[in-house]
Each structure stands twice: as structure tokens, then as C-alpha cells.
């Protein structure tokens, strides 16, 4: 008699029950000897769940099942915890006239009662995996409500010992992440950032950096003290690495260089307009109209909504709303911008400078050992340099925004090119959504770039109902 032994263990089970592959194999060999098997071959899967049959050793076993007379397992749930998959494996064994023996469950498959008991145990195994899945989801929800992350931590953070404690910042990796944001906001392309990253720090998996991995870092809200959970971005309790202002600036960079249909690349608003129904890009597909590109590509049969609006209507309204928002700003009083971020950075720099001066004074008085002061001052000077660099970046960006606001106040030049117009628009708006409301009127939703304000503007059904919108000096 030829016997095949299949063993499997997941990391969770091994830690909880001490159920090692070696212990399963020894028990199965003893069972095979009891069945008087002459030859034995072992197939093992380590650290793989039984929720599916996609396991290398199991697939090899099933492909060679006709070579054996009996399959020996330590327990039936080693094969599968899914009733459908388990029934499929049992059918394969029956078709190949191969017996099934379990060390802990003695079931006779030759009779109807034995086959019934086999399926009942398979159903209980599936019930167990369903309960386990529900418990995992419930635990994730509880952690999310407490602002705790679940899953693999992004680069820049390390886990803490406490299960209910937020991760801590890895300063070396955090400096690397800050530099990535600085390079992007400084105008460097993703490809150049990838080359720089390869020269400075290896990928956590030991391979080279890819542009997708770099972009994942540069779009991850985890670095501003938030986290993604089931499609939403929620608040978290871990320490942020990047300020909200720097993060918003980076997202605006990606939005500005988003891929646009070649025919519509020359039009200003195609880089910032989005469909309010599906989030797709609004492109100038035909002369005088905007259309949702996602619905256009889907075809008439697969379209879920109709998003097709006249371009002059939308263009003039966008420039008018933008002009009104900028006019409401008191630009003259903003020569010395002092936002919450800059105020916090100035305060941190002043505090660090005071600590360094205090240590130097203590060194002159020989009040503290010299080695201790040098060690403290090295850390303080490094932190001060980082804070100073962040402060300079914040002030430089604020000055750039003030310049753009003044350009809007003075009136956008008629001969400004597409890139200049788009750059100035992104100073004011993160994105503009176009949707058709329940009353069939076109709605424009404006999402502010430096504020959290959302402006809603409805366009009338007939264009002649609008007045005072012509001659604004904008193309």
C-alpha cells in the first residue's frame, strides 16, 4: 500500500497550539504503519491558511493523487476549512479510488453514514473559518475606532510592544520620507525621486525602488496622522511625520500632472475637473463640451450616468467663482504669512535654540560632564536643522501662494499659457467636481486648496438666465 501524508500549519495555530509540522508528520507515519503502508511520501504547507486550495504542496498532491492508495492527515481541517473545497477534494479521492484516513477522526468512508459524518465535519470547519473571519473584522473595527492601525506599517514607523499602543516614529526612515515629499514639492519627477531613493536607502524588501512604491508613500495619509480604513480616511492617534500643508501640496502636484486625453491636454480645466458621479476625469472630448472620460470609454451600453456639459458655461463660472474667492482674501495683510504650521515651527525652533544655548552656558560653567552635553547638543542641532528646513519650505510656499493670489487680484494675463493657468488654479482649488443634480441642473463643487471650504454653485438650465458673466477678461 502506498500512502501520502499531508501536513499543514498556519502561524497562528502553531503559536497557539504548538501544532508543528513535525508532530503532525510523526502522528501520520504511525497511522500509516498501522494501515500497513509500504511507502510513504510527505507533502507539507507551512504558514498557509486553509481558506482556499491555493497551496503549492496540496496542489502537487492532488495532481499525483492516483499514485497512492490512501491519504493520511492529522485532522480533516488540514485539507480545507471550506465545505465546497473539502467536498471537491473528497470527490477527487473517490474518483481515484484513494482512501482517506485521519489520525484524530476515525471515519469509515465506505458507508453512507461515514460520508454524511465527513460532510458534517467539513461544515463545522467552514463555520470555524467564518467565525474567525468575523472576529478579525470586529477586531479591526475596534482598533480603527481607537485610532490604531492594523496591518503592515509604512516605512518611517516601527511597532511598539503594547498591542494597544500606536507605532513610534523611526527618525532615520522618517527623514527619508520627509525628503521624498520635499523633492516632489520642489518639482522633481517621480522617476528622478526613484533614482535618488535607490542611491540613499534600499527598499524594505531588499529590491530597488519603483515609482509605484514612491507614489504610495507620497499619497499615504498615514504620514499626517490619519489612516485608510475600508475606503475612508479616518483620524489616528500616531505621531505624524508630514504636515497637512506639505501633504496637500504633494497631492496637488499629482493632480496637476494627471494623465489627460491628448486631444484635451491644451485646455486649462481638464487637469482639475472631475466627474462628481464616478470620480473620472472630465475631458474636452468634442468642441464646446466636457465629457466624463470614464463613461466615454465604457461605451453607451455600460454607462451608469450621463455627464456631458457645455464648456463655455463651466469655464466662465469657474473663473468667476475663483475670482470671487480670491477677491475675498485680504492679500495686503498677508505679506508675513504665519499659519498654524509656521507658528508651530517658529516656536519649536526658538525652544531648541534656547536649549542649545542653555547647554553651552552649562558647559562654560563645567556644571555638566562635557560628553553628556556634546551628546545632547548633537541631537538638538540635528533636530533644529530639520525644523529650520521645514520652516523655510513653509515660508517659501506661502510666498509663492501670495504671489499667485496677487496675480488673481490683478487679473490673469490673457496670454498666460496652459501650464501657468493650471498652476494658478491649483493654488486655489484641489479639485472641481461637475455633476448633474436631481433637478437636472449642472452643479459645480469647488474644494479649496488652502482651506477645507467646499463651494457649491448651480448652473441655470438656460445660459441667457445668467447675467454679468461676460467680459471678465478670461479665456
CATH number at residue 40: 3.40.50.1390
Q: Where would I find the beta strands (DSSP E) of 253-375?
A: 273-275, 282-286, 289-292, 308-310
Under DSSP, is residue 8 helix (H, G, I), strand (E, B) or coil? strand
- The pairing of strands 429-436 and 442-448 is antiparallel
Q: Do 6 and 136 belong to one domain? A: yes
- Using the 3D structure, point to which of 183, 207, 242 is the last residue of a domain: 242
Q: What CATH number should be reported for the domain holding residue 180? A: 3.90.1750.20
Residue 316 lies in a domain: no
Whether the predicted model's global pTM rises above the 0.75 cut: no
Q: Do 131 and 166 belong to one domain? A: no
Q: Decide if pLDDT at 40 tops 60.
A: yes
Q: Decide if pLDDT at 439 tops 90.
A: no
pLDDT mean over 407-436: 66
Q: What are the distances in angstroms from CA 359 to CA 15, 95, 197, 367, 373?
A: 50, 82, 36, 9, 6
Residue 279 lies in a domain: no
pLDDT tens digits, one per residue of 244-271: 889 988 888 777 655 444 444 446 676 6
Residue 363 lies in a domain: yes
Apex 122 CA angle, 19 and 55, nearest 5? 60
Q: Do 134 and 7 belong to one domain? A: yes
pLDDT tens digits, one per residue of 235-244: 888 899 999 8
pLDDT tens digits, one per residue of 353-390: 888 777 777 767 776 676 777 777 777 777 877 888 77
Q: Decide if pLDDT at 325 tops 60.
A: yes
pLDDT tens digits, one per residue of 202-226: 888 888 898 889 999 999 999 998 8
pLDDT value for 177: 93
With a pLDDT cut of 70, the percent of the chain lying above it is 70
- Using the 3D structure, point to which of 140, 168, 200 is the last residue of a domain: 140
Q: Decide if pLDDT at 23 tops 80.
A: yes
Residue 219 lies in a domain: yes
Q: Do 237 and 350 belong to one domain? A: no
Q: Do 209 and 95 belong to one domain? A: no
- Using the 3D structure, point to which of 202, 227, 242 is the last residue of a domain: 242
- Residue count of the chain: 475
pLDDT tens digits, one per residue of 25-37: 888 888 888 888 8
pLDDT value for 421: 65
pLDDT mean over 439-455: 70
Q: Do 16 and 98 belong to one domain? A: yes
Q: Do 132 and 16 belong to one domain? A: yes
Q: Do 182 and 129 belong to one domain? A: no
Average pLDDT, the chain: 75
For residues 35 and 280, give the distance between their C-alpha atoms in angstroms, rounded to a whole number: 64
Residue 394 lies in a domain: yes
Q: What are the distances in angstroms from CA 371 to CA 21, 313, 366, 381?
A: 54, 70, 11, 15
Q: Do 233 and 352 belong to one domain? A: no
377: closest CA among 395, 394, 360? 360
pLDDT value for 5: 92
pLDDT value for 475: 31
pLDDT value for 449: 66
Residue 297 lies in a domain: no
Q: Decide if pLDDT at 138 tops 70.
A: yes
Residue 376 lies in a domain: yes
Q: Do 238 and 336 belong to one domain? A: no
Residue that is written with C-alpha cell 480603527 in the block: 144
Cell of 428: 486655489
pLDDT value for 256: 61
pLDDT value for 474: 31
The parent domain of residue 179 ranges over 157-242
Per-residue exposure over 429-448, b if at least 16 CB sit within 10 Å of its own CB, e if not? bbbbbbbbeeeeebbbebbe
Task: Please give the tally of structural domains in the chain.
Answer: 3
Q: Do 128 and 187 belong to one domain? A: no
With a pLDDT cut of 90, the percent of the chain lying above it is 9
DSSP 281: B
Confidence of residue 142 (pLDDT cuts 50, 70, 90): confident
Q: Do 97 and 175 belong to one domain? A: no
Residue 335 lies in a domain: yes
For residue 282, the cross-strand partners are 292
Amino acid at each position: 500500500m502506498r500512502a501520502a501524508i499531508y501536513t499543514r500549519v498556519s502561524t497562528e495555530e502553531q503559536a497557539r497550539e504548538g501544532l508543528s509540522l513535525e508532530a503532525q508528520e510523526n502522528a501520520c507515519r504511525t497511522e500509516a504503519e498501522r494501515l500497513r503502508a509500504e511507502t510513504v511520501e510527505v507533502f507539507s504547507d507551512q504558514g498557509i491558511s486553509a481558506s482556499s486550495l491555493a497551496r503549492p504542496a496540496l496542489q502537487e498532491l492532488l495532481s499525483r493523487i492516483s499514485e497512492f492508495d490512501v491519504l493520511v492527515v492529522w485532522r480533516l481541517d488540514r485539507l480545507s476549512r471550506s465545505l465546497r473545497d473539502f467536498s471537491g477534494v473528497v470527490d477527487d479521492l473517490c474518483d481515484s479510488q484513494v482512501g482517506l484516513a485521519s489520525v484524530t477522526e476515525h471515519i469509515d468512508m465506505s458507508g453512507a453514514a461515514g460520508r454524511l459524518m465527513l460532510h458534517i465535519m467539513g461544515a463545522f470547519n467552514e463555520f470555524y473559518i467564518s467565525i474567525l473571519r468575523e472576529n478579525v473584522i470586529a477586531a479591526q473595527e475596534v482598533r480603527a475606532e481607537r485610532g490604531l492601525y492594523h496591518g503592515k506599517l509604512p516605512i518611517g514607523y516601527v511597532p511598539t510592544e503594547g498591542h494597544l499602543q500606536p507605532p513610534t516614529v523611526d527618525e532615520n526612515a522618517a527623514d527619508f520620507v520627509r525628503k521624498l515629499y520635499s523633492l516632489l514639492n520642489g518639482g522633481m519627477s517621480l522617476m528622478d525621486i526613484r533614482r535618488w531613493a535607490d542611491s540613499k536607502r534600499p527598499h524594505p524588501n531588499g529590491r530597488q525602488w519603483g515609482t509605484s512604491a514612491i507614489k504610495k508613500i507620497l499619497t499615504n495619509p498615514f504620514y499626517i496622522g490619519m489612516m485608510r480604513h475600508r475606503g475612508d480616511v479616518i483620524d489616528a492617534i500616531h505621531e505624524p511625520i508630514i504636515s497637512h500643508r506639505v501633504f496637500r501640496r504633494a497631492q496637488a502636484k499629482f493632480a496637476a500632472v494627471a494623465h489627460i486625453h491628448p486631444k484635451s491636454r491644451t485646455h486649462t480645466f481638464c487637469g482639475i475637473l472631475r466627474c462628481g458621479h464616478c470620480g473620472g476625469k472630465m475631458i474636452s472630448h468634442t468642441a464646446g463640451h466636457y465629457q466624463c472620460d470614464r463613461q466615454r470609454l465604457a461605451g453607451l451600453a455600460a454607462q451608469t450616468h450621463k455627464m456631458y456639459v457645455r464648456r463655455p458655461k463651466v469655464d466662465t463660472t469657474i473663473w468667476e467663482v475663483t475670482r470671487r474667492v480670491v477677491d475675498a482674501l485680504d492679500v495686503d495683510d498677508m505679506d508675513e504669512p504665519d499659519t498654524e504650521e509656521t507658528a508651530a515651527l517658529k516656536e519649536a525652533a526658538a525652544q531648541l535654540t534656547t536649549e542649545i544655548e542653555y547647554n553651552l552656558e552649562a558647559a562654560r560653567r563645567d556644571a555638566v560632564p562635557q560628553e553628556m552635553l556634546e551628546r545632547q547638543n548633537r541631537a538638538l542641532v540635528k533636530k533644529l536643522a530639520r525644523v529650520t528646513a521645514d520652516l523655510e519650505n513653509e515660508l517659501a510656499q506661502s510666498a509663492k501662494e501670495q504671489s499667485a493670489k496677487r496675480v488673481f487680484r490683478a487679473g490673469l494675463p490673457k496670454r498666460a499659457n496652459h501650464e501657468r493657468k493650471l498652476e494658478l488654479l491649483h493654488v486655489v482649488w484641489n479639485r472641481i467636481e461637475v455633476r448633474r443634480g436631481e433637478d437636472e441642473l449642472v452643479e459645480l463643487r469647488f474644494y479649496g486648496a488652502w482651506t477645507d471650504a467646499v463651494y457649491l454653485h448651480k448652473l441655470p438650465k438656460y445660459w441667457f438666465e445668467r447675467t454679468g458673466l461676460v467680459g471678465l477678461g478670461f479665456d
